């Protein structure tokens, strides 16, 4: 899938965001190694801590459909600069595909590209695999 199509899918997903408190709307589109695309948007909650980010929303949708191998994710936000995934989203993405590509964009079209490894160089490893950590 071309990058433009992945970004467009994220941009469309952003239109479904529920952000009545911050007004910060985000959409994400995750590309699986099998070529499927799953989308998600941020969903805020009055408690703030229960808010779910677009990236994790897309991951949950993909995993619920049996997909766990990801190649890339595109994230589009209504911000002045491309918004990078938060730390929680970086860790969740790394759980499945630590070497995936991350594309971030604004609704105005400004884009940047990173490897997930550059954004999260030392992801937390499973505690059950190494109890000394």
Catalytic center residues: 55
**What are the CA-CA distances from residue 30 to residues 4, 13, 73, 132 (Å)?**
13, 11, 4, 33
Q: What is the CA radius of gyration of the chain?
A: 14
Strand partners, 40: 28
Task: Order the strands of the 37-41 sheet from edge to edge.
Answer: 37-41, 26-32, 70-77, 101-106, 111-115
């Amino acid at each position: 899938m071309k990058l433009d199509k992945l970004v467009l899918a994220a941009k469309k997903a952003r239109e479904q965001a529920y952000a009545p408190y911050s007004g910060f709307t985000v959409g994400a589109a995750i590309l699986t190694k099998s070529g499927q695309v799953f989308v998600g948007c941020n969903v805020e909650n009055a408690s703030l801590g229960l808010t779910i980010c677009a990236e994790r929303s897309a991951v949950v949708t993909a995993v619920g459909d049996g997909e766990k191998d990801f190649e890339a994710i595109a994230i589009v936000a209504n911000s002045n600069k491309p918004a990078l995934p938060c730390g929680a989203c970086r860790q969740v993405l790394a759980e499945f595909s630590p070497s995936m590509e991350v594309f971030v964009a604004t609704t105005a079209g400004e884009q940047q590209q990173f490897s997930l490894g550059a954004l999260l160089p030392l992801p937390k490893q499973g505690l059950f695999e190494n109890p000394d950590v």
